[in-house]
Structure 1
């Protein structure tokens, strides 16, 4: 089954009380990028309507509260409120870790259409890694390549990590004393994933908010 958590190493400026950046592996970055592919309705349901900033939650409520008599007979509220993740049968057998969906689906569902074969889908699936194979043993699995570590900034900017980029960053943050820096390994599981989603909608200091201060 997919891993329940991944880890990344934070570099913290203790004096400023902030995360400068996180060192992350391929699987962690794959997950962060995977969040972008989630439907808006799924983000709302994960974060919670009461926790959403702005008015998107009102659209969610509007559909939820709309009487069925006003809905087209060939439409279902859950198509919008609980959109399914669809895995085309011809795609790579990979489900992003920390998958935020309740289920994954293949062909023959009356409410969603497979983008590959154009048939309806509804068969729930569970992903199991092939015996004896490593998670990233095949080229093209996931989104980014695992040839380097990645730097995840406090505002979720992601880029390949290098010595030069690290030194440049420390200089930009005017870090003079290495002793003021602290390394901290944190685990990103389902609870932290939801907190990251919420914080990313509210602030540009996401890692600091979630792992140092705690979200509001």
Structure 2
């Protein structure tokens, strides 16, 4: 095994500990790249919870939303043509032109996904649809209200997403909004997620993001093993490069992830002079 130490690695082989803090609210995230200046390829990136949450959050985006976010690139081939067809097909051929087009061109993005993709938020907000509300009836039949009797008997077996729809049982307007109540197990998970600052991963270690976007906890051992696997013998050829990840880079990462296994290199290679990190004097 190659035994080395670089500025990107700690001297011990334990995972890097990072102080607990709330997720960044800045519009740009930061990650530290380890680059081989001979090939000008990114070997891996050292990233925090915020970056990993963003990358994992991309998996929650519906395909049509991805196509919309990347529409200027026209890289998704036939998917782009499908979306164009939905736009251009005459209303007469749709069962429900308004709702069908909305569902196909702007599929619902959950609020949790929006919070995990702050770099794409400016675009993603326009893709989000408000969550549907559901209603039930009051359960009181006006004909028997005087006697305090309920036609539905307190057993509300019908809900609707259109306020005012007549209940099939008591024929009264369904106007009482239903509130979702999470079970105890779900509540515990949500509490733990809130304590961790949201997202998916815990902020207990620094993470190692490979060029192909595979993710693992950062440690000196894993970094040395990777360098050995890549046959990197000349450690003097390696340099650290701290880069910012904003909306432009976020879209480029999303685009590159669909067609490449060298994503970090593809996105950041041409953002500086060859072999010279942008944060160097």
| TM-score greater than 0.5 by the shorter chain | yes
Which residue does 1:210 correspond to in 2? 267
Seen in structure 2, the aligned counterparts of structure 1 residues 84 and 3 have a Cα distance that, compared at 3 Å, is farther
Which residue does 2:74 correspond to in 1? 51
Larger radius of gyration: 2
Which residue does 1:71 correspond to in 2? 94
Deviations 1:128-178 (A, max 9, x none): xxxxxxxx8713721001111111111111111111100000111111122
Deviations 1:80-138 (A, max 9, x none): 11123233xxx8xx82232441155554479xxxxxx9857xxxxxxxxxxxxxxx871
Deviations 1:8-59 (A, max 9, x none): 0000000011000000000110000000100111111111165214322121
Which residue does 2:257 correspond to in 1? 200
- 1:146-185 to 2 correspondences below 5 Å: 146-185=203-242
Q: Is the 8 A contact 2:211 2:265 kept in 1?
A: yes
Q: How well do the aligned residues superpose, as a CA RMSD in angstroms? A: 2.8
Which residue does 1:39 correspond to in 2? 62
Q: Is the 8 A contact 1:53 1:202 kept in 2?
A: no
Which residue does 1:80 correspond to in 2? 104
Shift in Å, 1:66: 1.2
Q: Is the 8 A contact 2:120 2:251 kept in 1?
A: no
What is the number of equivalent residue pairs in this alignment? 189
Q: Is the 8 A contact 1:154 1:208 kept in 2?
A: yes
Q: TM-score, normalised by structure 2?
A: 0.60
Seen in structure 2, the aligned counterparts of structure 1 residues 84 and 193 have a Cα distance that, compared at 3 Å, is same
Seen in structure 2, the aligned counterparts of structure 1 residues 119 and 177 have a Cα distance that, compared at 3 Å, is farther
Unaligned runs of 5+ in 2: 1-23, 135-158, 163-192, 272-281
Shift in Å, 1:72: 1.0
Q: Is the 8 A contact 2:67 2:76 kept in 1?
A: no
Q: Is the 8 A contact 1:30 1:143 kept in 2?
A: yes
Determine helix, strand or coil for the equivalent of 1:85: coil
Aligned mate of 1:21, from 37, 44, 53: 44
User: Does residue 61 of structure 1 match 2:84?
Assistant: yes
Unaligned runs of 5+ in 1: 111-116, 121-135
Determine helix, strand or coil for the equivalent of 1:182: strand
Q: Is the 8 A contact 1:3 1:98 kept in 2?
A: no
CA distance in 2, matches of 1:2, 1:109: 30
Further displaced range: 136-145 or 75-84: 136-145
Q: Which has the higher strand share?
A: 1
Q: TM-score, normalised by structure 1?
A: 0.77
CA distance in 1, matches of 2:267, 2:45: 13
Which residue does 2:119 correspond to in 1? 98
Aligned mate of 1:3, from 3, 23, 26: 26
